[in-house]
Amino acid sequence: MRWIRPQEVQVCDFVSDSMKIRHKRLAKLLKPHRFTTVSRSPVSHGWHFVRSSHIPDLFESIIVESQGKRGEAVSASVGIAVTQTVMEKVLGNVQILEDMAGDPRRGWTIIDDDSDAREWEQKLATIGPVRAARWADSRGPELLQSTAPLRAIVNRYEECLPRHDSLSQSLALLKRNLDHATELAAERFSESPLFDVEGVKALCYQVACHLITSQSAMIESRSFIGHEPDKDSELPDRIEWLADRLFQISGAEDTVW
């Protein structure tokens, strides 16, 4: 079971007219705790705020969502993941903050006005960072252990990346050395609906797909040509993780996904 991919958010001035909680205010409150906005929730109005964990190779997140015609129902969760920009069940773990909920059983709070919203935002900025760190302590070591084999494989793919001034140049070199069938497979992977992204992140996925299709025989003694990302449980994890790593090393760490 996969979590739905977070969608892109324009961080500079994004405010949903229908959402009571304000992104700009909350981002300002979380900034001293090193959280930055990396994505917008596709399930409802809301955002994912992420920081590097005190545990190496781990990321902590605070997830805010709202529902209702006026965005009056809000919930908050904390999460950990081994990727910065992608949240998947196999690569992460999430816990609802019940003490942020007016209805702990359902996890939601009804926000009536701006005063309620500001109070909720302040409470989350106080509780969220601490709870995220505790969640990392509680579940982080197990997550790192369970994902160690896949992380080792992805690291080997990353080592095969042609080093140039830009990912675009690396991609051009990868394509130059591929046969037609392998290039077609890589393009088909990158065009999968699972990886419906744009801009810098789309380039990261293209490079990841070309690396995996061209190097899998050498690294894993297997070929992914002919496989479909939405039908192969192993292929998307490799692509997601490698794309996340490429995004981090591309100099685009401050770009919002």
Q: How many CB atoms lie within 10 A of CB 7?
A: 13
Q: How many CA atoms lie within 13 A of 96 on its CB side?
A: 13
Please give the average per-residue pLDDT across 191-220, as a whole number. Answer: 90
* pLDDT value at 1 more than 80: no
How much of the chain, in percent, has pLDDT values that exceed 90? 53
Write down the domain spans for the chain: 23-146, 160-249
Q: What is the Cα–Cα distance from 223 to 228, expressed in whole angstroms?
A: 12
Closest CA to 41 of 63, 60, 74: 63
- Residue 94 bridge partners (DSSP): 79
Q: State how far Cα 92 lies from the chain centre.
A: 10
Task: Answer yes or no: is pLDDT of 257 > 50.
Answer: no
The pair of three-digit structure tokens given for residue 235, joined into one six-digit string: 């292929």
Percent of the chain predicted with pLDDT > 70:
83
- The tens digit of pLDDT for each residue in 61-120 reads 999 988 877 768 899 999 999 988 765 555 678 898 988 887 767 778 888 899 999 999
Q: What is the CA radius of gyration of the chain?
A: 19
pLDDT at residue 87 in the model:
57
